[in-house]
Amino acid sequence: MSRFGKAKANNVDSLAGFRAQKKDTVISHGVLNAARKSGQLNLSSRGLSEVPQNVYRLNIDPPEDAHQNVSFDASDRWWEQTDLTKLLLSSNQLTHLSDDIRLLAGLNILDLHDNQLSSLPSALGELQELHQLRLSHNQLTSLPEELCTLKNLRSLTIQQNLLESLPEQVGHLENLSELDLSRNHLKGLPSSLGCLIGLQKLNLCHNKLTCLPDSLRQLKNVKMLDCSNNQLTHIPASLSEMVALEQLYLRHNKLCLLPRLSAPTLKELYVGNNQIEQLETEQLECLTVTGIMNHDQKQADQIPNELFDAAAGEDVTTANFSKNQMTSIPSRLVEFHASLSDINLGFNRLTCCSPDICKLLNLKHIDLRNNQLDELPPEMKNLTKLCSIILNYNRFRFFPEVLYHIVTLETVLLGNNQVSAVDPNRLMKLDHLSTLDLSNNDLLNIPPELGLCTNLRCLILDGNPFRTPRAAILAKGTDAVLEYLRSRITT
């Protein structure tokens, strides 16, 4: 039930009803009445330059048409209303928020993202029921200390603002589970951040941080920490005490050494685009490899043995060696034949695909795009779990023979090669094939029998020199193309 008639005397505005409302901020009675019933009010994308006074006083003042409905038998009993719990004000032109926001003490969710707010009222601290506060994409330069008294706040998103610092009291938000401070101007963090013991997701990317407070070690529940695109020169070893950490993003910083971490749950560590010139065994040994081996975008002609040594004995499921200068596939990948299921070797200089890769019998996905391959080894038919293969931007002149024998294939991407023909009768035997990209090749004709591959859900043929099907048919999508091809089969 609402607080109508129960409002504290100091909350009652004696001028209510006499203030003139700007035309561009008037909200219809119907919208307000619906909000009284549902407890939710969506005023997003209305071009508002201020929050109308009758919104703040929604549960205090009677509706303007109240005199028309005073019957206790009426279905629309305006005095039986629900406290406003959800207020959406995103994508407007708000430059300020009135202290009257305190009148909406029942709010659970307040969304103010994508406005022009440069400050927040201290009265925000009186919304003690608030669970979610969304402030992203504004012009905030600071946060009021009173905001840090919101004991029930669970999600606070303030990305894309102008914050240079945080109040030390931020550590009082003891129930916070998500904190997004990305894309601000933060140069440092208060040590009290370590008091947010319920935090699970902390995003600090795209700031100006040069170091991390040692108190982060106290964040025992954080699973994701993003510190990418800052100015960090080192990572404190104490981060290893973040025992729940699964994802750590450190890309685009000024790290010279690989951080010495041994977080037992760490699954993903991203340290690309730093100033790390070499990997030493002792640096790698302190990492617990738990699924992903990553050495992408290094312009390396070979993968360091130290990386394989550090992963020895671990169940590596994913290897990403893309965007390097390798001319051959690392032979040591075979060491992980029992667990490796996903390999990315795209954007290298591979001229051949080593038969050794065919020993990875658990392989499900392989990305070989943007290389110099013109054939695949016949031994690849042993990859009986392979689901997808990406071969775009290579030098294939024929549809690789071995692919006709891998019946588990679901996706084959062969765009931007020189393929001149495909065998539809053999493609039909690939019962699971649903995506086939043959765009920008040298196909002079498309065999009508390809239309019998009814399992295809995505067939891409654009950019070939054939005359039929015409572009108008191709533009209608896969089903239309297959139907057209079937119509041309002669019996």
Q: What is the pLDDT of residues 433-471, one digit of tens each?
A: 999 999 999 999 999 999 999 999 999 999 999 999 999
| Mean pLDDT value across residues 62-77 | 54
Q: Please spell the DSSP secondary structure of 293-358, one letter per residue.
A: EE--SS--SS--HHHHHHHTTS---EEE--SS--SS--GGGGGGTTT--EEE--SS---S--GGGG
**Residue 483 DSSP symbol:** H
pLDDT value of residue 264: 65
User: 343 has which bridge partners?
Assistant: 319, 366
Q: What is the C-alpha to C-alpha distance for residues 103 and 90, in angstroms, rounded to an integer? A: 20
| Mean pLDDT value across residues 381-401 | 96
Question: What pLDDT digit, counting tens, does each position of 238-296 carry?
Answer: 888 888 888 999 999 999 887 777 666 777 888 888 888 776 665 555 554 457 788 88
- Per the listing, tokens 């005490």 go with 241
Domains recognised in the chain with CATH numbers:
1-162 (3.80.10.10)
Q: Is pLDDT larger for residue 60 or for residue 182?
A: 182
**Residue 184 DSSP symbol:** S
**Residue 20 DSSP symbol:** P
Is the CB of residue 70 less than 8 Å from the CB of residue 93? Answer: no
Coil, strand, or helix at residue 177? coil
- Provide the pLDDT confidence category of residue 406 given band limits of 50, 70 and 90: very high
pLDDT value of residue 100: 96
* Max mean pLDDT range (58-62, 170-174, 182-186, 232-236): 182-186
pLDDT value of residue 59: 81
Is the peptide bond preceding residue 52 cis, with omega within 30 degrees of 0?
A: no
| 345, 349, 352, 355 alpha-carbon torsion, rounded to 10° | -30
pLDDT value of residue 15: 43
Compute CA distances 36 → 33, 137, 452, whole Å: 5, 29, 58
| Mean pLDDT value across residues 30-50 | 91
String of b and e for 101-119 (b: at least 16 CB within 10 Å)?
A: bbbbbbbbbbbbbbbebee
pLDDT value of residue 11: 44
Question: What pLDDT digit, counting tens, does each position of 13-37 carry?
Answer: 444 444 444 444 678 888 888 888 8
Evaluate if residue 424 carries a pLDDT over 60. yes
| 343, 344, 346, 347 alpha-carbon torsion, rounded to 10° | -130
Nearest in space to 374 (alpha carbons), one of 399, 411, 348, 344: 399
Compute CA distances 257 → 121, 215, 228, 478, whole Å: 44, 21, 15, 50
pLDDT value of residue 246: 87
Q: What is the C-alpha to C-alpha distance for residues 390 and 322, in angstroms, rounded to an integer? A: 13
| Mean pLDDT value across residues 81-109 | 94
Evaluate if residue 121 carries a pLDDT over 90. yes
| Mean pLDDT value across residues 291-312 | 84
Nearest in space to 438 (alpha carbons), one of 426, 449, 450: 450
- Provide the pLDDT confidence category of residue 88 given band limits of 50, 70 and 90: very high
Q: What is the C-alpha to C-alpha distance for residues 51 and 115, in angstroms, rounded to an integer? A: 12
Q: What is the C-alpha to C-alpha distance for residues 199 and 203, in angstroms, rounded to an integer? A: 11
Evaluate if residue 78 carries a pLDDT over 90. no
Nearest in space to 158 (alpha carbons), one of 174, 172, 169, 147: 147
Share of the chain above pLDDT 90, in %: 66
- Provide the pLDDT confidence category of residue 10 given band limits of 50, 70 and 90: very low
Q: Is pLDDT larger for residue 401 or for residue 70?
A: 401
Its pTM stands at 0.59
Start-to-end C-alpha separation, the chain: 75
Q: What is the C-alpha to C-alpha distance for residues 70 and 225, in angstroms, rounded to an integer? A: 56
